[in-house]
Amino acid sequence: MKCHELAERLSRERPDLPPVEVARLCLILLNTEEDATQLSDTEKRMEAWQHASFRCEAATDQYAAVVEELDQLFGDEPVQFRPDQLWTLLRAVKVQSQMLELYTQQMALA
């Protein structure tokens, strides 16, 4: 299945989705499904969609939490790193790598 075919099907199934969301979903679905022909089947496509949505929501929630931690960590004051702050930075890198994996399906180095 080609990206434009998948986009057409998703747009018919969910006409309320803006084009950018359809494009994002196509990218994620095509990257997560080893055999893109499986996405022709409505049931398999919906299953892959649910799985991708769950992963994306989890990564987005983690990302939001880390952004909040980083905002608290880097206020307007000079930064003197403590070990717990370094762990916050490492978590931020890990969460960012998870977001990249959703879109590229390649293992990030973090």
What are the extents of the domains in the chain? 3-104
What average pLDDT does the segment 14-38 reach?
88
Q: How confident is the model at residue 104 (pLDDT cuts 50, 70, 90)?
A: low
What is the per-residue pLDDT across 39-66, written as a single tens digit (0 to 9) for each? Answer: 888 898 889 888 888 877 887 787 788 7
Per-residue burial over 19-37, b if 16 or more Cβ lie within 10 Å, else e, is eeebebbbbbbbbbbeeee
Residues 56 and 100: beta-carbon distance below 8 Å: no
Asked whether residue 18 carries a pLDDT value surpassing 80, the answer given is yes
Backbone torsions φ then ψ of 60, nearest 5 degrees: -65, -40
What average pLDDT does the segment 17-41 reach?
87
- Rounded Cα gap, residues 64 and 76, in angstroms: 20
Cα dist from 66 to 18, 24, 38, 39, 87, whole Å: 27, 22, 35, 33, 11
Q: How confident is the model at residue 12 (pLDDT cuts 50, 70, 90)?
A: very high
pLDDT of residue 106: 61
Q: How confident is the model at residue 15 (pLDDT cuts 50, 70, 90)?
A: very high
Question: Cβ–Cβ contacts within 10 Å for residue 92, how many?
Answer: 19
